[in-house]
Amino acid sequence: MNSQSKKMELLGSTSIPKALLAMGIPTMIGMLVNAFYNLVDAYFVGGLGESQMGAISVVYPLGQVVVGLGLLFGNGAASYISRLLGRGDKENADKVASTALYSSVSVGAVIIIISMVFLHPILKLLGATDSILPFAATYARLYIVSCIFNVFNVTMNNIVTSEGAAKTTMCALLTGTVLNIALDPLFIYVFDLGVAGAAIATAISQVVSTCVYLTYIFRKKSVFHFRVKDCTYTKETMSEIFKIGIPTLIFQILTSVSISLINNAAGGYGDSAIAGMGVVTRLISMGSLSVFGFIKGFQPIAGYSYGAKKFDRLHEAIKTSILWSTAFCVIFGVILALFPTAIVSQFTKGDAEMIRIGAASLRANGISIMLFGFYTVYSSLFLALGKGREGFILGACRQGICFIPVILLLPIVWGLNGIMYAQPIADVLSAVITVFMAIPLHKKLNEMQRKTAEISPNN
């Protein structure tokens, strides 16, 4: 059996636990290591001072918006590709993959140019104080330009995972991240480049990850052929990409907005507050990105099963994913909740105020992240099934619909505590909404399963 047939077998007939392990664990490891890099990056930059730490916290959401373009086309295409492969439509799946890749890089380049032209006003909008702005501008000039490679990587990440090649994604993420971790202290301290060194290390690692994906393409390991002539911008193709991709992009923008709102709210309490909340954001991202990585393995299985009308397989994938992701979140959350002070203190030279703020927020976030696996399975499931509207509503809850009103109102009546506990409160509200959206979804899937069984009794 050739590698392409093995990929299709993995999506369509391999036992769910084995398929989830094969698809989810490699992407989970890759995302976990990538998130670990973000922590290491914060650790080394934190040694430079609170203003420098605040600088990378301010620039982070801008980079996430640029990378969101990769998710717009990559995640939007991945959902459609999985369903096309489930229906056996390889030809159209190939065209969708090419369209997504070339479109994301082109649009990404335009957005990066615009960001660089208006860099200072953007950084101010993102919460940069006068003392943070010079460091943020230095870091952003290098980091944002290098994001063109990350746009390519994120798009390929989604496309490659959709065809069942999760190990390639893991390899690309691991290679870039390990290199980044090694280069950080070299450029920051040995070459004495400060925050600029951190940005250069990131840029080099992104280029290396791009090379891994290019090698995968040129060695013809992919199910798809990425050719400009195969790009198709028909109404059907673009609507299928955008109905999933636009909600995904909005989720990414909302994530950036939420971080910016925290930075702006914390700015009134000094650079220590911004730095402390920035550390918490990166620590929580380590857990959330790990879950996202695992769920990226779940999504193509869910989309393929739905397209092939294998509802028993779909139900089993949902249950198993909820169980496994929740178990991970509980373990991760307990560690954060029990040892917040010891963890946060690793990211500063001894700023007591930063440690106090960060530890209090981390403890609360550690408790609420235990709900994250359940929420993420369903927010991803709706998108995998092509239900863009429902996926958008649920996906926008945690960092938008629930979070934004809380972060705008709570600090007014509760001060700094309102900033520290805004995300945990939004997490709880999002989990409650998930329950009410999951119930009708399962009723509809059960009804579709019943009708399919009536039409094909031997199915």
> pLDDT digits over 366-397, tens only?
999 999 999 999 999 998 898 888 988 998 99
Task: State the pLDDT at residue 8.
Answer: 73
Q: Are 283 and 32 in contact (CB under 8 A)?
A: no
Q: How many CB atoms lie within 10 A of CB 128?
A: 28
Query: What DSSP element (H or E) covers 232?
Result: none
Reported in sequence order, the residue ranges of 39-178 that DSSP labels E, i.e. its strands, are none
Q: Distances from the Cα of 248 to the Cαs of 78, 385, 395, in angstroms?
A: 12, 14, 8
* Mean pLDDT value of segment 313-329: 96
Task: State the pLDDT at residue 373.
Answer: 97
Task: State the pLDDT at residue 362.
Answer: 97
Burial call 76-107: b when 16+ CB within 10 Å, e when fewer: bbbbbbbbbbbeeeeebbbbbbbbbbbbbbee
**258-297 residue pLDDT tens:** 988 998 999 889 889 998 998 999 899 889 988 988 998 8
Report the alpha-carbon distance of residue 194 to residue 202 in Å, rounded.
Answer: 13
Q: Which of 404, 434, 49 is nearest to 254 (CA)?
A: 404
The first and second tokens of residue 194, run together, are: 């400060």
In the predicted model, what is the mean pLDDT of the chain? Answer: 90
**87-109 residue pLDDT tens:** 888 889 899 999 999 999 999 99
Report the alpha-carbon distance of residue 166 to residue 159 in Å, rounded.
Answer: 10
Task: State the pLDDT at residue 459.
Answer: 47
Q: Enumerate the domain spans of the chain.
A: 11-452
Q: Is the pLDDT of residue 71 over 50?
A: yes
- Considering only the C-alpha atoms of the chain, give the largest distance between any 2 of them, rounded to a whole number of Å: 70
Share of the chain above pLDDT 90, in %: 57
Report the alpha-carbon distance of residue 328 to residue 332 in Å, rounded.
Answer: 6
